Chain A
Amino acid sequence: MCDQTFMAATFGPCDSCGKASPLMNIYIKSEAINYCSFCVEMMACQQLQKGETLQSLKKESDSLKKKLEEERGKLNDVELHQVAEKVEVLSSLSIKTRRVLKGHGNKVLCVDWCKDKRRLVSSSQDGKAIVWDAFTLNKEHGVTLPCTWVMACAYAPSGCAVACGGLDNKCSVVPLSLDKNENLAAKKKSVAMHTNYVSGCTFTNSDMQLLTSSGDGTCALWDVESGQLLQSFHGHTADVLSLDLAPSETGNTFVSGGCDMKANVWDMRSGQNIQSFESHESDINCVRYYPSGDAFASASDDATCRFYDLRADREVAVYQKDSVIFGASSVDFSLSGRLLFAGYNDYTINVWDVLKGTRVSILFGHENRVSRVRVSPDGTALCSASWDNTLRIWA
């Protein structure tokens, strides 16, 4: 900033900050403005309109936020657990570990089922992604990526490819070949490019498009064939840790959650943030849609899982318990949506009754944090990935 010497025609209180100083007489849209040079500088740099300051914008933003909460509260005429009183109580569940998948050399960070209900792909801190047959415990494919911390992996709807990404800031698609000797990594194709780690990825309804979330605060939609960026989604103010596609044939919305404690719902075609929910008290680690697509659940470091209804536009349930004090890392719904499985950093999986808000069961077995839980496509089994280097199938 160089020293400016200018003829000060007037001296007096600045219109903006009120301090008495030499004023610059400028015109904005033929309207005379008398600001001191500092405020003129601020206005120019911050692209503020006349009368706006950072404080006034913040105040406006905060008051709108409060108004939104009030509006949401007005339509809150009944609580979910009240509606759930007439629903019958669940019979006690008997869920046990049926399979333990060993083979990763380090923490398993992510897992996804294939549509054929028996295969899954898992990725790990050791840089490998493995495709397993969960029934026979066979390892069918293995891909080695040139980075550690592969935090995201997804199975393509066709079952012929997997996508994985992580610390390399990319998400790559690997076609699954049947030739055991073929080096799958050679066919790997980089699709997504972010400026920070990739935290989550999922295919849309076909193998042709990939949706990713990243530590750079954005989500993006990519064309797999060309690697082109089709749409980007800006709005989070910190790392985005998770995303989930809405379950519908038309499939054009998704929800994302991040370190800014917000869960945002996006329109995939326009890139706009349709709805936003901010009720967690810490980072949101995972978001997952309810089977009907009208609601979603989130898991957070504040040791709670929360349930949001999209039509009511607010949080309708909080799943918490005094004895649960460790952060929840992942959630998934049962097929009917009556149960919510949540994996925690205290090595356990808690099973919550979605409607009544109570905890139905707690599953022990892992020897380190549970990083991901996924219910199989036909709802017959639950797979959990953990930092103890194993995956467990529960049924």
Chain B
Amino acid sequence: MTINTMAKGGWQREQMICFRMMEKMIVAMQDPDMGMKLRNQRLLITVIPHAMTGHDIIIWLIHKYSVCEEEALHLGGMLVKYGYIYPLKEPRSLVLQPDESPYRFQTPYFWTSTRWPASELDYAIYLAKKNIRKQGELMEYEKERYSLLHKKINHTWDFVVMQAREQLRASKQRRKADRIVLECQEQAYWLINRPPPGVHNMLDVGLERQNNFNLRATLNSDFYKNEIEVYRRALGRNRVKSSICLEGVPVPTRLRVERWSFSFMELLNDAMGRQEFMLYLEKEFSAENLYFWQACEEIRHGESSKIVEKVEEVYKNFLAPGAARWVNIDSKTMDKTLEGIKQPHRFVLDDAQMHIYFLMKKDSYPRYLKSDLYKNMLAKAIVPQETKKSVFPFMRRQRHSSPSPAQAVAQVTEEEGRHKGAG
């Protein structure tokens, strides 16, 4: 074969990566200790060495990568489709059969990545060889391509034919088994690099992407100055410790979030609900109400010995004039409470607490239920498995169409038009 002197273009970067990964896998499969057990296969009357069955491949993949049979079959199938393993029995069908069908590893010489891209010259020589070896062995599509090539590279046609003859002569001197193997290998290579019509092209990578290497020219001072500025800015950023930002509240269930809308008490009784409500109040700058309510609860349900000091705290933080978290209570209640604090007991703050409770219930609570914070919480909430199936629309066959959003808009504009016309 002629040596391909064309350098591998940068745009095949994407393919190269998965080729490298597949090759690593293939090398692992051929490892003398942990690799596959190869044996001799009988093909008609010749014995081919170093072969394995499809079944063996799948078992090896299952063990090595701890995957299920379906995935192993799929993975092995990809290795065959890309030509790293080729079938001996039906060489034209690059499919992995999970049975006793024999397969062999492709020689690295014929790996797609080794000689990319496959050259027209090599293809012409291959087709010429086939043609000379047995007249009529070429398939229809191969005949068409052969004549196309004949027109395209006519100037080197003598070389093509000469090379083909030489290679055929050399192969005649090999043992039959080797010859068959080489033919299979070569055929597998061309089945991938020049797929028959109708078979999808494994090497199709879609659109060419510009490569970083093309930009070497523009790695000038402006580029580096920009980079330096970006890095400087990035260094100045405030970063949060992983333990804090990854903590995240465990996601509640939908039912739980919905209960918060049943009554204000439900919301306050659920720790998560209360926390969420607090977040909302912080945004509204009225969080002191909830803090006050919580502090009152602590006094009501807390240790008797701590009541006096706790009431002191509450007075300092919430009731004293100029307090940091001053709560807005009506003057009558405030006076009564301040009087009562002089003789602190468990229920001295009850009136004030009640006042604030109703304030939140009437004002902040309904607004919270309408807020994005609550709606997002509802949307994020998990719906447990059991309740799902009946809700999922795609489980049922839907036959009737729904009005398109565009229709709704059209109707409105139509009506508006009519109004305008009438008015």
Interface residue from A133, A291, A325, A338 paired with B22 (Cβ < 8 Å): A325
Chain B residues touching A, majority SS? helix
Contacts of A115 in B (CB 8 A): 405
**Lowest 3 CB-CB distances: which A-B pairs, in order?**
A159-B405, A135-B398, A325-B21
Closest to A382 in B: B394
Interface residue from B250, B372, B391 paired with A249 (Cβ < 8 Å): B372
Contacts of A117 in B (CB 8 A): 393
Interface members, chain B 376-418 (any A CB < 8 Å)? 379-382, 385, 391-395, 398-402, 404-407, 409-410
B14–A323 touching, CB < 8 Å: no
The reply on B210 being an interface residue by CB < 8 A is: yes
Closest to A348 in B: B74
Provide a sorted-by-A list of 20 A–B residue pairs whose CB atoms are within 8 angstroms: A72-B239, A75-B239, A119-B405, A140-B404, A159-B404, A160-B405, A167-B207, A176-B406, A178-B407, A217-B210, A259-B212, A275-B234, A309-B246, A311-B245, A322-B64, A323-B61, A325-B22, A326-B18, A336-B380, A338-B382
Of the stretches B123-131, B174-182, B214-222, the one at the interface is B214-222
Contacts of B380 in A (CB 8 A): 291-292, 335-337
Q: How far does the alpha carbon of A158 sit from the alpha carbon of B74 in the complex, in Å?
A: 41
Q: How far does the alpha carbon of A393 sit from the alpha carbon of B211 in the complex, in Å?
A: 34
Least CB distance, A73 to chain B, in whole angstroms: 10
Q: How far does the alpha carbon of A235 sit from the alpha carbon of B70 in the complex, in Å?
A: 43
Given A61-B228, A80-B246, A275-B234: A312 touches B209 (CB 8 Å cut-off): no
B406–A380 touching, CB < 8 Å: no
Q: How far does the alpha carbon of A76 sit from the alpha carbon of B244 in the complex, in Å?
A: 10
A395–B394 touching, CB < 8 Å: yes
Closest to B215 in A: A237
The reply on A238 being an interface residue by CB < 8 A is: yes
Q: How far does the alpha carbon of A114 sit from the alpha carbon of B402 in the complex, in Å?
A: 13
Given A60-B228, A61-B231, A311-B239: A52 touches B392 (CB 8 Å cut-off): no
Q: How far does the alpha carbon of A65 sit from the alpha carbon of B227 in the complex, in Å?
A: 9
The reply on B359 being an interface residue by CB < 8 A is: no
Q: How far does the alpha carbon of A68 sit from the alpha carbon of B399 in the complex, in Å?
A: 57
The reply on A50 being an interface residue by CB < 8 A is: no
The reply on A273 being an interface residue by CB < 8 A is: yes
Interface members, chain A 154-193 (any B CB < 8 Å)? 158-160, 167, 175-178
A46–B220 touching, CB < 8 Å: yes
Interface members, chain B 15-67 (any A CB < 8 Å)? 17-18, 21-22, 25, 61, 64-65, 67
Interface residue from B74, B240, B391 paired with A311 (Cβ < 8 Å): B240
Interface members, chain B 257-294 (any A CB < 8 Å)? none
A346–B223 touching, CB < 8 Å: no
A65–B231 touching, CB < 8 Å: yes
The reply on A19 being an interface residue by CB < 8 A is: no
B209–A215 touching, CB < 8 Å: yes
0/1 string, A86-119, CB within 8 A of B gives 1:
0100010000001100000001000000111111
The reply on B100 being an interface residue by CB < 8 A is: no
Q: How far does the alpha carbon of A83 sit from the alpha carbon of B243 in the complex, in Å?
A: 8
Q: How far does the alpha carbon of A197 sit from the alpha carbon of B207 in the complex, in Å?
A: 10
Q: How far does the alpha carbon of A264 sit from the alpha carbon of B17 in the complex, in Å?
A: 23
12 extra interface residue pairs, beta carbon distance < 8 Å, beyond A91-B385, A107-B206, A316-B242:
A54-B221, A64-B232, A80-B242, A140-B404, A160-B405, A235-B226, A241-B209, A283-B209, A301-B14, A311-B239, A322-B65, A380-B394
A residues contacting the other copy or chain, number (CB 8 A):
99
A276–B234 touching, CB < 8 Å: yes
The reply on B71 being an interface residue by CB < 8 A is: yes
Contacts of B393 in A (CB 8 A): 117-118, 135, 380-381
Contacts of B240 in A (CB 8 A): 75, 311-313
The reply on B78 being an interface residue by CB < 8 A is: yes
Chain A residues touching B, majority SS? loop
The reply on B3 being an interface residue by CB < 8 A is: no
A325–B230 touching, CB < 8 Å: no
The reply on B419 being an interface residue by CB < 8 A is: no
The reply on A225 being an interface residue by CB < 8 A is: no
B382–A336 touching, CB < 8 Å: yes
The reply on A244 being an interface residue by CB < 8 A is: no
The reply on B155 being an interface residue by CB < 8 A is: no
Contacts of B394 in A (CB 8 A): 98-99, 134-135, 380-381, 393, 395
The reply on B370 being an interface residue by CB < 8 A is: no
Q: How far does the alpha carbon of A77 sit from the alpha carbon of B147 in the complex, in Å?
A: 68
Contacts of A319 in B (CB 8 A): none
A326–B78 touching, CB < 8 Å: yes
Contacts of B372 in A (CB 8 A): 249
Closest to B24 in A: A325
The reply on B225 being an interface residue by CB < 8 A is: yes
B234–A78 touching, CB < 8 Å: no
Q: How far does the alpha carbon of A395 sit from the alpha carbon of B394 in the complex, in Å?
A: 7
Least CB distance, A315 to chain B, in whole angstroms: 11
0/1 string, B328-368, CB within 8 A of A gives 1:
00000000000000000000000000000000000000000
B242–A160 touching, CB < 8 Å: no
Given A322-B65, A362-B71: A302 touches B17 (CB 8 Å cut-off): yes
Identify the interface centre among A58, A136, A294, A325: most chain B CB within 10 Å of its CB: A325
The reply on A8 being an interface residue by CB < 8 A is: no
0/1 string, B136-157, CB within 8 A of A gives 1:
0000000000000000000000
A323–B67 touching, CB < 8 Å: yes
0/1 string, B232-253, CB within 8 A of A gives 1:
1011010111111111101100
Closest to A159 in B: B405
Contacts of B381 in A (CB 8 A): 336
The reply on A332 being an interface residue by CB < 8 A is: no
Least CB distance, A137 to chain B, in whole angstroms: 9
Interface members, chain A 136-158 (any B CB < 8 Å)? 136, 138, 140, 149, 151, 158
Identify the interface centre among B70, B235, B241, B242: most chain A CB within 10 Å of its CB: B242
A78–B243 touching, CB < 8 Å: yes
